[in-house]
Amino acid sequence: MIVLLLLTPGCWSRKEINDLAVILAVGLDQEPQSNQLRLTLQIAKPKSLTAGTKQAGFGPGQKPTWIISGTGDTIFEATRNLATESSRDLYWGHTILLVMGDRLARDGVNQVLDFFARAQQPREIMWIMVTRGKAEDILRSHAELESTPAQRIGFLIRSKTGLTVNLKDFVTMMTKTGINPAAPEVGLATVGLSELKKLPGPDNDEKGDQGNRKNEMPPQAKLTGTALFREAKLVGWLDRKETRGLLWLKGEATKGIITIPCPNHPKEKLSVDIMRGSTEITPSIARGKPVFTIKIKMEGDLKEVHCPLPLGEPATIHHLEKEFARDMEERVRGTFYKIQKQYAVDVIGLGNHFYRRYPQEWKILAPRWEKVFPEVGVEFQVQTSIIHSGFLTEPLEPWK
Amino acid sequence: MAEKTRISWVQATLLLINMVTATLILVVPAITTEAARQDAWLSALVATFGGLLLAFIFTKLQQRFPRENLLQFSITILGPVLGKVVGFLYLWYFLHLAAIIIRSFGDFLVISFMPETPVWVFIIIITILAAYAVHNGLEVIARVNILFFALVILSIVIIFFLTAKDMDFTNLTPILAEGWKPVVRGSLFPLAWIGEIVIGLMILSHLANPGEIKRVYLVTTIGVGILLLQVIIGVVATFGPEYTSHLIFPGLTGTRIISIGNFIERLEALAMVMWVGGAFTKICLVYYAGVYGMAEWFRLKDPRPLVGPAGIILVFFALIIYEHFIDFLKFATVPFPMYTLTTFEGGLPLLLLVIAILRKKGGAGNVQKNPGSNDDSSASTNSRLLEPQGNK
C-alpha cells in the first residue's frame, strides 16, 4: 500500500498551470503561394487578464492576449514550429473559437477539422466560423467590452443572433446524409463610437492629429452572416437578413424582430418581437419527385407601434398577424431561393428529412441529390400569432 | 472449496452489472452504430434478449449445482478428463478476457487523458490493485464494488441528463431502413459483452441464498440492457449515426461536449470515474475467476499463492495482446463475439446443460419433475440447498 501511495499520486504527463500557454482562439489560413497552412493562435496572458482588466484592450503594451503565427503542412506541424517560439507549452483545452479564412474554406475544411476532432485537448464545443479574408485579422481585432476578442466572439455567438455551430455540430452536419454544413461568418467592423469627438476648429497641429487617430475605434469582430458549404468546401455566403431566414428554416434560434408597415398607414411601421416558434418539414412524393412542406409557426409580441391602430379589436390583431406572416414568408422564400437556386446547397437538411421518411427512395436519390435539390418543390406555410401587445392597448395619441 | 465466502444477491447483481456496463458503454456504441446505424438502439434490445437466453442457460446450470462453481460442475457433468479440458478452456478465457480489459483500461487512459504516460504504468498499477483485491477475496471485491457502482451509475445518469439538450431524437429515424440484418450484426458485440455474465458461474456458488440465482441473472441482464439502451440512444441522438461510428469512445466524447450555461463544462472526469470504477471491478472479477479457477484446476486448498504469478502473467499478456487500439476494435467487432459466443458464453454452457440433463446430474431433478416450482417457493429452495452436499 505504501508503494502504491508513493506511485499513484504522481502524474506522468502533469503540467502545471503556469507552464501552459492557454490558447483562446485559433485562426487557420492558407498561404497564397505555398498552399501551406498558416496557424494563428491567440494566447491568454494570465497576468494582464487578471490584474489589468481595467486597461484591457488599451494600447499595445497591456493587451491581454498574445498572438503568434506559424506555418506548416499540417496543423500539428505548425504547432511544432510555434512551440519553438512560445516559452510555454501550448494548451488547447480552453480554445473557444476556430476561425477559418475563406481561401482555406474554399479548399475544404475536413482535413483541418480532423486535428481538432482527433486530438485530445481541443474540445468538440469550440465554435467554428469562417471569415472573408484572413482569420489572422479576426484574432488580432479589438474587443471593447470583453477582455479578449475570443471571448467577445464567444459571447456574440451565444446571444444566438446568428447560426451557432460548434465543432461537433459541424462534423455532424458534414457526415450526416442529406445535409450540407453551414457556419457563421465573422467579419471586422468599426463598431461603437469613439468617446472623444473630433472637435471642429483650427486645431491642426501634429499633436491633435495624432490624438484623433488614436481615438478612432479599432475594428472589432462582428457576426456578419452565414457561410455555406457543399461537402466540406465553402461555396457561398448569406447576409444577416438571409441568415435570419435560414434560422427559421432550420427551426433553430427563433428570436428576432420583424418590422412591417402599418396596415392603414403604409409609411408608418410597427415592430413585432418573435418570442418562440417551431419549424416542421414534411417530405412527400408527388409524381415521382420529392416535395416538401415547410410549416413555420411563430409567436410574437407587439413591441412598438407608430401609427394609430384600433388594437383593442381582435380583427386588427388578426390582420397584423397576416401581415406578419406574409413578411416572414417573403424573407424565408428569399433565403430559400438563394440556397436552392443560387448555391444549390441543402443546408436545411431537406434531404435528411426525406431520407428519414422514405429511406428506400432516398437510396436512389442520394447520389444525385445535388442535382435534384435545386428542382424540388417547396410549399411554405407560415402561421403567426401575436400574443401580447405590451402595456398599452391602442397607441398613444396627442389631444386634438 | 474451503472458503466460506457468502455474498448477497444484491452484491452479486451489482458486481455483474458493473462488470459488464462500465466498460460496455464506452466502446460499444461506436461498434454497434457502425453496423446498425440509427437502429443501434434496436441492436441493444436484441442483445438484451440474447442476453436473457444466455442468462437462462446459466441459471439452469447454476441451479443444478448451487454450491459448485463452473470448474467443479464441469467435472461433475463430464467426468474428470473432459471436465478438466473444459476447465482449462475457461481458464484461458478468463485470462484472455482479463488481459484484454487490463490493456484497454490502460489504452483508454493513455488515449484520452495522459498521452505521454506509457501504457505499462497503468497496466502494472491496476494489476497490483486488483491482485490486492483478489487476495482479499470475493466479499471484499463485492463491498468495494458497491461504492464504485454508485459512482458509475451516478456518472451515467449525470452525463445523460447534461447532454440531453444536445440530443436530436430525429437522428434515431428512419427505423429499420435496412431491415433487421444490420441490427442483428450490430447486436453481436454487445451480446458478447453481456455474455460475460458467464463469470457469474464462478461467483454465484457463494450466494447466501441459492434460490436467488435466477433473480441475479434476470436483474443483471435487464439492468445492463437498460443502461446500454440509454447510452446508445444518448450518443446516437447527440452525434448522429455517422459521427458516432467514427468515434473511438463515443461515451467520452459525449461528456466532452457538455456545456451548460457556459460554466458546467469539461466533465470528462465523470467518464474517467465510470471507466476506472467499472474496469476495476471487471478486472478484479475476471482475475478472481482466473485465480480461483486455477486453484480448482490444480486442486489447491488455498488459491492465494496463485494471485502473484497470475498477475505477472496478466501484465505481460496485456502488454503483448495487441499493438494498437484499432487492432482491438477490429478484433472486437466480429471475431471476438464469434469466438466467445460460440464457445465460452454460449456453446459450452449449453453443452454442459444438455449433458447434465441427459446424464441427470445435479440437483435439479425436483425442478424437472414439477416445472411450476421454478419460481422459487421456499420448499424447493431448501431442498436445493441441501442437495449439493449429497452430491459431493
**B387: in domain:** no
Ranges of each domain in chain A = 17-238, 239-400
Spell out which residues of chain B touch residue A12, defining contact as CB-CB under 8 Å: 114, 116-118, 121
Flag if A176 and B166 touch (Cβ within 8 Å). no
A166 CB within 8 Å of a chain B CB:
yes
Sign of the alpha-carbon torsion through A313, A315, A320, A324: positive
Specify whether the CB–CB gap between A100 and A138 falls below 8 A. no
Specify whether the CB–CB gap between A44 and A24 falls below 8 A. yes
Quote the pLDDT of residue B222: 92
Spell out which residues of chain A touch residue B257, defining contact as CB-CB under 8 Å: 123-125, 166, 168
Quote the pLDDT of residue A208: 44
Specify whether the CB–CB gap between A31 and A71 falls below 8 A. yes
Quote the pLDDT of residue B221: 92
Residue A57 burial (C-beta neighbours within 10 Å; 0-12, 13-18, 19+): buried
Spell out which residues of chain B touch residue A90, defining contact as CB-CB under 8 Å: none
All cell numbers assigned to B209: 441464498
Cα separations in angstroms, A73 against A35, A112, A285, A378, B53: 8, 10, 47, 44, 54
Of A213 and B369, the structure prediction assigns the larger pLDDT to A213
- Residue A217 carries which side chain, given as an amino acid letter? M
pLDDT digits (tens, 9 = 90+) for B261-286: 667 777 777 888 888 888 888 899 98
Query: The domain spanning residue B72 has which CATH number?
Result: 1.20.1740.10
Residue of A175, A279, A363 for testing the chain B interface, max B β-carbons within 10 Å: A175
Residue of chain A whose Cα is closest to the Cα of B266: A123
Tell me B343's DSSP state.
I
Flag if A123 and B266 touch (Cβ within 8 Å). yes
Domain that holds residue B48: 9-338
Residues 6+ apart with CB under 8 A from B388: B65, B66, B67, B68, B363
Residue ranges of chain B whose pLDDT lies below 50: 1-2, 365-392
Quote the pLDDT of residue A192: 64
Spell out which residues of chain A touch residue B246, defining contact as CB-CB under 8 Å: 175
Chain B residues 108-137 with a CB less than 8 Å from chain A: 111-118, 121, 125, 128-129, 132
B166 CB within 8 Å of a chain A CB:
yes
Ranked by mean pLDDT, the top range of A80-84, A303-307, B94-98 is: B94-98
**B77: in domain:** yes
All cell numbers assigned to B142: 463485492
Report the C-alpha gap between B284 and B295 in whole angstroms: 16
CB atoms within 10 A of CB A268: 15
Of A12, A123, A172, the CB nearest to B121: A12
Rg of chain A over CA atoms, in angstroms?
26
Report the C-alpha gap between A366 and B85 in whole angstroms: 55
Residue of chain A whose Cα is closest to the Cα of B244: A172
Residue of chain A whose Cα is closest to the Cα of B117: A12
Specify whether the CB–CB gap between B192 and B18 falls below 8 A. no
Spell out which residues of chain A touch residue B121, defining contact as CB-CB under 8 Å: 12
**B147: in domain:** yes
Flag if B114 and A11 touch (Cβ within 8 Å). yes
Specify whether the CB–CB gap between A28 and A104 falls below 8 A. yes
- Long-range contact pairs involving B317-324 (C-beta distance under 8 Å, separation at least 24): B317/B95, B317/B96, B317/B98, B317/B99, B318/B98, B318/B99, B318/B100, B318/B102, B318/B103, B318/B106, B318/B123, B318/B127, B319/B103, B319/B119, B319/B120, B319/B123, B321/B99, B321/B100, B321/B103, B322/B103
Residue of chain B whose Cα is closest to the Cα of A355: B174
Residue of A22, A168, A363 for testing the chain B interface, max B β-carbons within 10 Å: A168
Report the C-alpha gap between B141 and B16 in whole angstroms: 12
Specify whether the CB–CB gap between B117 and B125 falls below 8 A. no
Chain A residues 169-198 with a CB less than 8 Å from chain B: 171-172, 175-177
Residue B226 burial (C-beta neighbours within 10 Å; 0-12, 13-18, 19+): middle
Spell out which residues of chain B touch residue A2, defining contact as CB-CB under 8 Å: none
Strand partners, A302: A272
**B103: in domain:** yes
**B391: in domain:** no
Report the C-alpha gap between A112 and A30 in whole angstroms: 11
Helix/strand/coil for A228: strand
Cα separations in angstroms, B360 against B53, B57, B75, B352, B388: 22, 16, 14, 11, 14
Report the C-alpha gap between B235 and B233 in whole angstroms: 6
Helix/strand/coil for A229: strand
Arch. (CATH architecture) of A239-400: 2-Layer Sandwich (3.30)
Strand partners, A66: A43
Mean per-residue pLDDT, A342-362:
86
Instruction: Give the relative orientation of helices B213-246 and B138-163 as an angle to the nearest 10 degrees.
Output: 40
Report the C-alpha gap between B145 and B7 in whole angstroms: 12
Of B114, B170, B266, the CB nearest to A13: B114
- Binned at pLDDT 50, 70 and 90, residue A166 comes out as confident
Flag if A171 and B243 touch (Cβ within 8 Å). yes
Quote the pLDDT of residue B32: 87
Quote the pLDDT of residue B391: 39
Of A275 and A210, the structure prediction assigns the larger pLDDT to A275
CB atoms within 10 A of CB B377: 12
Mean per-residue pLDDT, A171-200:
76
Cα separations in angstroms, A205 against A24, A91, A99, B171, B368: 41, 48, 41, 67, 110
How close, in Å, is residue B388 to chain A by CA atoms? 40
Residues 6+ apart with CB under 8 A from A251: A277, A278, A279, A280, A296
Residue of A5, A6, A13, A113 for testing the chain B interface, max B β-carbons within 10 Å: A13
- Binned at pLDDT 50, 70 and 90, residue A5 comes out as low
Strand partners, A100: A28, A130
Report the C-alpha gap between B240 and B167 in whole angstroms: 9
CB atoms within 10 A of CB B128: 17
All cell numbers assigned to A59: 494600447
Residue of chain B whose Cα is closest to the Cα of A166: B257
A118 CB within 8 Å of a chain B CB:
no
Q: What is the pTM of this model?
A: 0.78
C-alpha angle A149/A152/A154, rounded to 5°?
110
Report the C-alpha gap between B192 and A380 in whole angstroms: 50
Report the C-alpha gap between A333 and A246 in whole angstroms: 10
Report the C-alpha gap between B336 and B328 in whole angstroms: 9
**B370: in domain:** no
Of A124, A168, A359, the CB nearest to B177: A359
B272 CB within 8 Å of a chain A CB:
no
Ranked by mean pLDDT, the top range of A203-217, A322-336, B23-37 is: A322-336
Tell me A390's DSSP state.
T
- Residue A341 carries which side chain, given as an amino acid letter? K
A116 CB within 8 Å of a chain B CB:
no
Show the DSSP H helices in B65-137 as ranges.
Answer: 70-78, 80-112, 119-136
Report the C-alpha gap between A65 and A22 in whole angstroms: 10
Residue of chain A whose Cα is closest to the Cα of B108: A120
- Binned at pLDDT 50, 70 and 90, residue A47 comes out as low
How close, in Å, is residue B379 to chain A by CA atoms? 47
**B220: in domain:** yes
Q: Give the number of domains in chain B.
A: 1
Torsion of CA B93, B80, B311, B198, to 10 degrees: 40
Of A120, A158, A355, the CB nearest to B112: A120
**B14: in domain:** yes
CB atoms within 10 A of CB A116: 22
How close, in Å, is residue A356 to chain B by CA atoms? 4
Q: Which of A381, A371, A285 is nearest to A332 (CA)?
A: A381
pLDDT digits (tens, 9 = 90+) for A101-156: 888 888 888 888 888 888 877 888 888 889 888 888 888 887 777 777 777 787 77
A2 CB within 8 Å of a chain B CB:
no
Flag if B114 and A7 touch (Cβ within 8 Å). no
Residue of chain B whose Cα is closest to the Cα of A8: B125
Of B114, B115, B173, the CB nearest to A356: B173
